[in-house]
Structure 1
Amino acid sequence: MDPKEIKSTVSNLEKSTDDVTILKLLNILNDGVVPTEKLLRETKVGVAVNKFRTNGNSEINSLVKKMIRNWRDIVQAEKKKKSGSSSSTPSGESANSSGSASTSNGPTGKFHSGPRNPKIDGINTTLYDNGTRNASVSALYTALAIERSESGEHILSIAKEIENEVCKAEYMAVNDNYRNKLRTFTMNLRNKKNPELRERLLNKKILPSQFVKMTPNEMAPESLKKEIEKLHKQNLFDAQGATEKRAVTDRFTCGKCKHKKVSYYQMQTRSADEPLTTFCTCENCGNRWKFS
């Protein structure tokens, strides 16, 4: 694929919302892109593809990781073949002698793999006369950069804004409240099970001024939020069952084990003119359901 074809496919990919189309376009890129450092920089295909790392579809998630890993290996092999030393590192790029990270600069992002922190990315976080503030910016940067491909400059700008918002809230004082807040924010951002939080901040779906006002529950991973909601509904179901008189009947059939020994109770959960809601529990397997 030439750069024009890749850009067109990337544009369609970014507009796609259904998994079937996304998989089709990703496979087209996987089969058609012969990655070079120049091509990845020009098309930003690595950045576009990497956004789907956190997709809920395991097939998409797995394919994206495979593509990024393969492209990284090919680009690294290309760079080694050209020189085999850091002296050939393109202008504007910082070399990493450990070989743990590979970057390709672009105006809005980098094709990047491996662990990231300000030192590896060549980012200066000595911004203030106060060492604690500088350390906070550095910690936020490292947390935000986990499994991300945005440019170091962009990640630094978000880290600076978050730190500055916390500092302003404490009237520009570096006190215990400041340290505790930064520690909480950094820990939540470092959670590898919470890529959505990092993505929303870096894509500016959440502004730093909003982020610093979020509660731990609001910052929790989507999977944990769903689990909490499920638990809440289950507890509500149990609580309702405990307060209502249950009867056992053979009029209902369990959809799970097909047994007919079912206990049930009824409750008015909607307006008075609506029918009662019936809550059922299979006495054989414990399966629960409800209907109106």
Structure 2
Amino acid sequence: MEKLILTTEDHVPLAAHLFMPEKSNGKLLLINSATGVKQQVYFSFAQYFSDHGFTVITYDYRGIGLSKPQNMRGFHGSMRLWGSKDYKELTRYIRRKFPDYKKYCLGHSVGALILGMNKDSEMFEELIFVGTQNAFVGHLRTRTKIEAYLGFGIVQPLTTSLFGYFPANWFGLGESLPKNCAYDWRTLILNRKSTNRLLEKIDDYSKNLKQKVFVIRAEDDVWLTEKGVLSLLNDTYPNLKPTYRLIRTSESDKKEIGHVNFFRSYNKKLWNIILNELIDR
């Protein structure tokens, strides 16, 4: 594992890690993280794929983990910048350093939503979506819907306005977020257009994507619904060619997958689901 510091075109340093296999299979996997999830969460998963011949790259978006500034208050970051600048810098690096590799991208939660913000997404042979959807509150289950209205309708804007960033860790929602990342997240939840509303504010390449996409959803992910997943594939990425896989809780040794825990080492046996999808491509 090698640590990299990449600099975006608007001069923001990003921390990334490169996992090089002992014997390469000529395939590269880029991992786009979920909102507020540090890249270290994906290290075991990345090493597993590297052990199977893949070159793997993880990274933190601006304002997250190792790409976090000393002072979050007023830091300039948004989900739209995550897609158009940060993710863009990673694909630029991959094009330069690994031009002849077969390339794949795994988007976890928001990591799939930002694919439409970068024309380079067209370079990937196949996409993997894990725990992602159009997260509009109307797609959510009743209890989660109430929590979403209270959290994103009241608590999040109040705390973000007060502190100049969103202390998401106070509410068990991962790393603290730059102010405009929090507001973009609020848009995903409260605006009926969800992801499409963010794409309206930026260059939108979502309809250009025509690859195969392997869409994984965990049975016990309370923030995810089939309706939301289908909305993303039908309304945001209508030209992708999806295959769907629902992972039952009983398939996990700890009977626990949720929104993030697919990537925990105790669910290592589930990683074959993705490996088998890509290994023969």
- Mark yes or no: TM-score above 0.5: no
Max Rg structure: 1
TM-score normalised over the length of structure 2: 0.23
TM-score normalised over the length of structure 1: 0.23
